[in-house]
Homo-oligomer: A and B are copies of this chain.
Amino acid sequence: MAFLTPPPAPDFSVSVELVAVTVRDATLSVLTARTPHGPALPRTFVGRDEALTAAADRLLHQAAGAELQRHHLEQLASYGAPDRDRDARVLAVGYLVLAPGLDLASHADAWVAIDTLDRTAMALDHGAILDDGVERARAKLEYTTLATSFCPTRFTMSELRGVYEAVWGTTLDPRNFNRKVLATDGFTLATDERTTRSGGRPALLYTAGPATALHPPLTRG
């Protein structure tokens, strides 16, 4: 019976591949590069003595620029079809990154709108990994406070609502949205400052609070 049999000789390479998404100009965007095999997600190989998350962090800063701060990173799933990479047997561990839409200075052109990408034209199985990442992000906005990961440190209710609208592709009623966000203690914390950066009446600025789960959850239209 197969409980704790000893490992065989190593025969896999292990990679980390990122679905790094952000909201820019009210559009959900992902970090990619053009390659001879089509648009590709960033990837790197995990070193012999390196942790998976360490490899993901290293890759993220390399691909997105060092100015990226305050992102959220979580494991997505693993992809190991024997023929997914023709060059070798590669097991890919997918990671999902949620990044604020600002400070994208050095690699701004690498972020492309998600609904302009043809999944079938992407390198390897990156179309499928991308879809998994987007669905995970959409689902997690429902029951976690992760939407604030897309916002600058201080944000307005309109900006937060805009994140939900961009990720879900819906429009949300400002009054109901406001009520539901404030219903979860510690989701957002009001500051005593306002901004006019969007024109019109000054908007209250909020910061992310300590809560991580939403009670009750927000629902997609």
B12 lies within 8 A of A91 (CB): yes
A31 to chain B, nearest CB (A): 10
A209 to chain B, nearest CB (A): 23
B49 in contact with A85 (CB, 8 Å): no
A218 within 8 A of B: no
Copies, count: 2
What is the distance, in angstroms, from A172's C-beta to the closest C-beta of chain B? Answer: 20
Complexed CA–CA distance, A15 and B99 (Å) = 32
Which among B3, B51, B89 is the interface contact of A80 at CB below 8 angstroms? Answer: B51
Q: Is the CB of A52 within 8 A of B37?
A: no
Identify the stretch in A38-46, A144-152, A188-196 within 8 Å (CB) of chain B at 4 or more residues. Answer: A38-46
Contacts of A2 in B (CB 8 A): 42-44, 59, 62-63
B15 touches A12 (CB 8 A): no
CB distance from A181 to the nearest CB of B (A): 21
> Which residues of chain B come closer than 8 Å to A48, judged between CB atoms?
11, 82, 89
A13 is an interface residue with CB less than 8 A from chain B: yes
A125 to chain B, nearest CB (A): 13
Considering the complex, give the chain B residue whose CB is closest to the CB of A38.
B4
Residues on B with C-beta less than 8 A from A50 are 82
A: contact size bracket: 35 or more
Verify if A182 is at the interface (C-beta below 8 Å from B): no
Question: Known contacts A12-B12, A14-B80, A81-B51; is A87 also within 8 Å of B42 by CB?
Answer: no
B1, B44, B63: which contacts A33 (Cβ < 8 A)? B1
Between A and B, 13 residue pairs with Cβ closer than 8 Å are: A1-B110, A3-B40, A4-B123, A7-B45, A7-B85, A8-B13, A8-B45, A12-B14, A12-B91, A49-B89, A52-B81, A78-B93, A91-B93
Q: Interface of A with B (CB < 8 Å)? A: 1-15, 32-33, 35, 37, 40-46, 48-52, 59, 62-63, 75, 77-78, 80-82, 85, 87-91, 93, 107, 110, 123-124
